[in-house]
Chains A and B, each alone.
Chain A
Amino acid sequence: MRLLTTISLAATVCFSGCDVIDNPVIDLGIGYRGEALVPEFSLLTGGPRHVLIEDFTAHECGNCPPAAVVAEALAEGGGGLVHAIAVHAGPLAAVQDAPFDTDWTCEEAELWWSQLGIQVNPIGRVNRRGGSGASLPPTVWEAEMEAALIEPANLHLQGLAVEDGDDVHVHVHGSFSAAVEGEVRLAVVVLESGLVGAQLNYASDPEVLTDYEFNHMLRGSVSGGDGLPWIADASAGDVLQSDYSMVWNPDWSIENCHLLAIATASDGEVLAVLELPWAE
């Protein structure tokens, strides 16, 4: 009986202590499945640096609408080189009683929020300069953007987004004009504009606006917020292309959406960012 008890206890420990994984590869379901051949891109060996401005915002953040104005103005004045994302995350973005009963957050937004060194709304990152934890108040976004714009671009992106029934195909082409140490990751995220909902705004009267228009809102991604590994220790002249297919979320109005390709270095800084044009 004692031996039996001993063996039973040991067996319990053994069976519960092993995660045998026959095939550890996780199928993300984003392999290219379009019928059309993937597009070919001509080699791009130079070009200006693009800049990503991430505006961490929330519907119950009364100081956020002025920050959104700053981000949108910088993007509009950036001549196509500056890309803004409104990232709804943090406690003030939580679903509350009406009128703040819409969930504008997503997994990618929460991931990016978790990376911030200072978690407060409004706060932002500009090309994630200083690493993914660096967070900047809106007052310095412009200066940071100007500093980022004059940095040399080591990676040059081209791309295309193709609507195909329930799917959207994404093609991203990259060429390196200088070596980049460490792992480069590629994220493709979905942004939506023209969304209407409630927003607290201390600068308006009344402070609660029920028809506030949200633009460039982060809705999701093809690749996860951190993106997928793309290349390690890239050398000048390296060229690569990734082709993905995603099942489009019907909650997203495709005519109001655009996709951003974001390539990041191993320290989290944005190497390159590009708004993918929709195929005609």
Chain B
Amino acid sequence: MMFSAPALLLLSGLLAVPALPHPHALPGGVPLQEASTAQEVEPGPLHDLGQALLIDAKRVIVRPGEELADAQVLVDGGRIVAVGTGLVAPEGARRLSGQVLMAGLIDPWSAVGLDGNSISDRTASAAARAVDALDPYAYDNLRQDALEAGVTSVRVGIGRDGRIGGLSAFVRNDPNFDLTRSVLRSDAAISTAIGAQPNSDAFTRLDEVDRLIAELEKGKRQVESQADYEKKLAEWNKAIAEKVAELEKEFKKAKRDREKEVEEAKKAKKEHKDKAYKEDKKPKAPRYDADAVELARLYTGELPLIVEIERAPEIRALLEKTKAYPRLRLVLAGATDARFFQEELAERRIPVIVLPQRRDLGGVVAHDELALAADLHEAGVTVLFGSGGRDAQATRDLPLFAALAVGRGLDREAALAALTTVPARLLDLGHRLGSVERGKDADLVLLSGDPLSTTTRVQAVLLAGELAFEAP
């Protein structure tokens, strides 16, 4: 929906943020030529360009369901510094114009940048990090292909075939990939898979659920033993402090008594022995276990747990057994049979990363998984799209997945949200990515038409305010 009056509302809303008053965000767009925008905004995590960029678009998708017609977006220092209509470029600013501007697309289930062994690793444990498996010197072409399709960032996970996978990385699809600059999060989630082996039988799969639960239990124990240790340590510290206070209070008397005792001992020609204080031993910290520390973060809901799971029996088992962990942030991926559990998924706010493509991975309704996104959304389940985490090239096709899902009945707005705001929030980067709003990272895509149309071409892509791709 296009509207122009809310443009002002939006701007005034932005102006209400006291920390970042910005001259370019004034309604009417009167520019203050002398203002250097770069100093007003916290520098972005990547490069400080020192040169602003004004993007002019016929349609700005601020966030799904909220759009501006004939609007401008001002980018500086790697961030969006103003969004509105009638903005004028500051002096020296570069210009870019096109039809549709939106936030860069996010693939929350990708394989870009990882080698096959790391993806499927049987022995990876919770503390293993995907970021340590990324090769910054390889796969540039895959990052480039994804970028040219408008996919600006991805979550990549490792250790699919282990009892629990390692820490996922959330990275930018930067063709000039850099391990410090391009990594937005080295602990975006922990991901694993149930029944990912092509010929796994039902008992093996249920066993895999139990193993996963055992890992969660490990996390729970870690939390409990840590809490127990901290409690005991506090008690011990308190006891020591009390004793010290008591001793200090009676210090003079104790000193006199001692001197007297020493004198008497001397007279009696005996050796003087100081009184020994018997206190409890200091409690010992639980043995450091890197895996348990990460599993504890799962248990407390600090990290989301993304489980690739397809068939009804194991989904049922997983949902049943995770009820004992109320703070767990469970996310299902694939979930071909999720329809059977859609009420529960909606009620427990468990999102599903859908892969709207024929895969024949099993599941009762595997033949109709293309309509899964629409059905789940209808039932109130939060839906995302992912490229499946196996084939790195498939990340490039993320926008086409969304279009296919719309063809099978998914609401367009929900499809766009599933590509932008929802994955950003899920991976705890909602404050930086997913929408075209002031203060967010300038990871933006300029398109020749509607994002879900097959004839639309990507005209330009910005990564942290830097032009990473421009169509010839």
Q: Are A and B physically bound partners? A: no
